[in-house]
Chain A
Amino acid sequence: MSLRAELVVDDRDVAVTLGLRRGETVALLGPNGSGKSTTISVVAGLLQPDAGEVELDDRTLVRAGGRGPAAWVPPHDRGVALLAQEPLLFPHLSVLDNVAFGPRSAGVPRGAARGRAHHWLAEVGVDELASRRPRELSGGQAQRVALARALATEPRLLLLDEPLSAVDVALAPGLRQLLRRVLRDRSAVVVTHDVLDAALLADRVVVLEGGRVVEQGPTAQVLARPTSDFAARIAGLNLVRGHAHGETVVGESGLAIAGLADEPLHDGLEAIAVFSPSAVGVYREVPRGSPRNAIRGVVTEIEPHGHQVRVRTEHLAADITPAALAELGLAPGSPVVFSVKASEVAVYAA
């Protein structure tokens, strides 16, 4: 383990355990206010936890609230670099000196530090901007420079707090590719609520909700078979939680969804049924003589989704064509029946 963090921050109601192997990138996913930023602030040393322990490569960075003597390594001595949502380039320094700031702080002479800065600026593809002032950069350029500045400290751990959220939509894909290349062999934690970041950047995801870890695992597995509502939502999947009864999941409201289980489930075991909105048929009445699952609901929202229209009820979503929507005459408040074949529903243990 390269990073092991257990932390409790009382006034934000956060209690999180996070582990990271050397060279691994973990995506920290979760809705706003779920404790993602609090977690990385503690690891970076910008926030003191009420209790817990953070270790990086066998070095204790923080220990508080019992379990051995208290420890606190100040942020400048941690070898942990942080790339925030906003680039936060020092406005009074040139781009080059911004990037050279880390090496200079580590005692590298000016010339050598600037050399290293040029190297990292070239690495992120903006060396031609070296002599500019931060205010002369676009948002995407500034974030590239900020990345070069973080990398130039040669951190043992890189923390990225929603690094693409303040970047223009058109520029995000290029920057994401860059991050993908840069993070390949690095130990990094990426805070995000974007499924693309998780899918393209992370080996593993950890999902936080309400200050607790609710799910974690390899990215592909979590996105394909989420067990938390948040992971299901960002993976664009419908999720019904309940108890197994054969290959059917019976939810708390009595809603029963039949599906296919790849491993046999014991009756009564906590289980999850997951299906894609595109596998859902939408009707006004329960279709007769169909072997499908039929789920009654009330439309809460209708929104464009690519070339289709996403119809949401309180818990589920269905994608239909605009023509089908017009034919059904749906509007928020309409009663509706969602229908999905059992063969389209994956059932697995929670």
Chain B
Amino acid sequence: MNPAGRATRATTRHTTPRLGLPAWVFVPAAVGALFVVLPLVAMLTRVQWRDFGALITSESSLAALELSLRTATASTVLCVLFGVPMAVVLARTSFRGQGVARSLVLLPLVMPPVVCGIALLYTFGRRGLLGHTMEVLGVQVAFTTAAVVMAQTFVALPFLVVSLEGAMRTAGTRYESVAATLGARPTRVFLRVTLPLVVPGLVSGAVLSFARALGEFGATITFAGSLQGVTRTLPLEIYLQRETDPQAAVALSLLLVAVATLVIGLTRGARSAL
């Protein structure tokens, strides 16, 4: 939201009279909310707080947590680097086949993650489409930390593109036109006008991407495997622990929820300070 938009929202909050909602909507709304909240509560009830500290600070847990934070951060950076230009092209240009291009770019949103992993494997794996080329170049990505980052970026990128493209369309092109008539070249317009006006959209897109990357499981295990300290991120660790040590799995799940909540909370705070 730009500052003007925020001001409008704040005033409507004070002045809009309460709409007469039909009473029955509160019932399905409450059921839905309960459906989302109850499992979290259930999980909390199963946490053995006595061992909690030890469980989440075990060597494998810490390795997984560190790997998750590192890879999710790296893929968020990649999402921003590639997603911002993609959103600009989709929002500010029109070309033949743009609708198809948009659908293809957003496809990972609706693809099952395990299918994403298989697709990546057949592209960058040793016997994949680019596998031979990469072998010649001496690059081997499958089953490395780089593969984790690629899998996460693949599934998270559309989140950033979607929210940023929406923000850019909402912002419109009027400020950009003004900037151009004031003598600003396209690069300057982009950096000094377009981007600053969509910072809130960019931040929420990046947060969504980060959250999606942090929770990534299917594509990662398919394309990157599960090597402790190399490709075994927190969700993979939780899945493995569930077989052998359910207590550890619950503790780590709580940790993952806490990290995600913390990140979202921090960016919220940063956003309202903007």
List residues of A whose CB falls within 8 A of some B CB: 44-46, 74-82, 84, 88, 90-92, 101-102, 105-106, 133, 135, 149-150, 153
Known: A76-B180, A84-B174, A90-B196. 19 other contacts (CB 8 A): A46-B180, A75-B180, A75-B181, A76-B186, A81-B182, A82-B178, A88-B175, A90-B178, A91-B2, A92-B197, A92-B199, A102-B182, A102-B183, A105-B179, A105-B182, A105-B188, A133-B3, A135-B4, A150-B181
Q: For the complex, is B185 an interface residue (Cβ under 8 Å from A)?
A: yes
B5 to chain A: closest CB distance in Å? 9
CA distance A149 to B2 in the complex (A): 21
Contact indicator A84/B178 (Cβ below 8 Å)? yes
Contact indicator A135/B182 (Cβ below 8 Å)? no
Contact indicator B180/A74 (Cβ below 8 Å)? yes
User: Which chain B residues (1-38) contact chain A, with CB distance < 8 Å?
Assistant: 2-4, 7
A93 to chain B: closest CB distance in Å? 8
Contact indicator A90/B175 (Cβ below 8 Å)? yes
CA distance A149 to B179 in the complex (A): 10
B6 nearest CB neighbor, chain A only: A135
- Per-residue A-contact encoding for B166-189, CB less than 8 Å = 1, 0 else: 000000001101111111111011
Q: Which residues of B contact A45 (CB under 8 A)?
A: 180-181
Q: Which residues of B contact A101 (CB under 8 A)?
A: 179, 182, 184, 192
List residues of B whose CB falls within 8 A of some A CB: 2-4, 7, 174-175, 177-186, 188-189, 192-193, 196-197, 199
B192 nearest CB neighbor, chain A only: A101
Contact indicator B181/A105 (Cβ below 8 Å)? no
CA distance A106 to B186 in the complex (A): 13
Contact indicator A88/B178 (Cβ below 8 Å)? yes
Q: Which residues of A contact B179 (CB under 8 A)?
A: 90, 101, 105
B4 to chain A: closest CB distance in Å? 6
A87 nearest CB neighbor, chain B only: B178
Q: Which residues of B contact A46 (CB under 8 A)?
A: 177, 180-181
Q: A44-B181, A81-B182, A82-B181 are in contact. Are A91 and B4 (CB under 8 A)?
A: yes
CA distance A78 to B182 in the complex (A): 9
Top 6 A-B residue pairs of the complex, sorted by shortest distance between their CB atoms = A105-B184, A75-B180, A102-B182, A105-B183, A82-B181, A92-B196
Q: A90-B193, A91-B3, A91-B197 are in contact. Are A76 and B185 (CB under 8 A)?
A: yes
Name 6 A/B residue pairs within 8 A (Cβ), A-sorted: A79-B183, A82-B181, A92-B2, A105-B183, A135-B4, A153-B183
Q: Which residues of A contact B180 (CB under 8 A)?
A: 45-46, 74-76
CA distance A77 to B183 in the complex (A): 6
Q: Which residues of A contact B182 (CB under 8 A)?
A: 76, 81, 101-102, 105, 149-150, 153
Q: Which residues of B contact A149 (CB under 8 A)?
A: 182
B2 nearest CB neighbor, chain A only: A91
CA distance A75 to B181 in the complex (A): 5
A159 nearest CB neighbor, chain B only: B181
CA distance A101 to B180 in the complex (A): 11
Instruction: Summarize B's interface: helix, strand, loop or mixed.
Output: helix
Q: Which residues of B contact A79 (CB under 8 A)?
A: 183
A122 to chain B: closest CB distance in Å? 19
B67 to chain A: closest CB distance in Å? 37
B172 to chain A: closest CB distance in Å? 10
A153 to chain B: closest CB distance in Å? 5
B176 to chain A: closest CB distance in Å? 10
Query: Which has the most chain A C-beta neighbours within 10 Å: B178, B179, B180, B196?
Result: B178
B121 to chain A: closest CB distance in Å? 44
Q: Which residues of A contact B174 (CB under 8 A)?
A: 84, 88
Q: Which residues of B contact A150 (CB under 8 A)?
A: 181-182
A142 to chain B: closest CB distance in Å? 11
B77 to chain A: closest CB distance in Å? 23
Query: Which has the most chain B C-beta neighbours within 10 Å: A75, A82, A106?
Result: A75
Query: Which has the most chain A C-beta neighbours within 10 Å: B4, B175, B181, B189?
Result: B181
CA distance A84 to B181 in the complex (A): 11
CA distance A287 to B188 in the complex (A): 72
CA distance A81 to B178 in the complex (A): 8
Which of A84, A90, A106, A135 is B183 in contact with, Cβ under 8 Å?
A106
Contact indicator A105/B3 (Cβ below 8 Å)? no
A97 to chain B: closest CB distance in Å? 10
CA distance A92 to B194 in the complex (A): 11
CA distance A45 to B177 in the complex (A): 9
Q: Which residues of A contact B196 (CB under 8 A)?
A: 90, 92
A150 to chain B: closest CB distance in Å? 7
Q: Which residues of A contact B185 (CB under 8 A)?
A: 76, 105
A86 nearest CB neighbor, chain B only: B174
Q: Which residues of A contact B181 (CB under 8 A)?
A: 44-46, 75-76, 78, 80-82, 150
CA distance A106 to B181 in the complex (A): 12
CA distance A105 to B190 in the complex (A): 12
Q: Which residues of B contact A75 (CB under 8 A)?
A: 177, 180-181
CA distance A262 to B174 in the complex (A): 50
CA distance A74 to B183 in the complex (A): 10
Q: Which residues of A contact B186 (CB under 8 A)?
A: 74, 76
CA distance A149 to B174 in the complex (A): 15
CA distance A75 to B196 in the complex (A): 21
A245 to chain B: closest CB distance in Å? 51
B26 to chain A: closest CB distance in Å? 36
B70 to chain A: closest CB distance in Å? 32
Q: Which residues of A contact B175 (CB under 8 A)?
A: 88, 90
Contact indicator B183/A76 (Cβ below 8 Å)? yes
Q: Which residues of A contact B178 (CB under 8 A)?
A: 82, 84, 88, 90
CA distance A76 to B188 in the complex (A): 10
Query: Which has the most chain A C-beta neighbours within 10 Å: B179, B180, B189, B196?
Result: B180
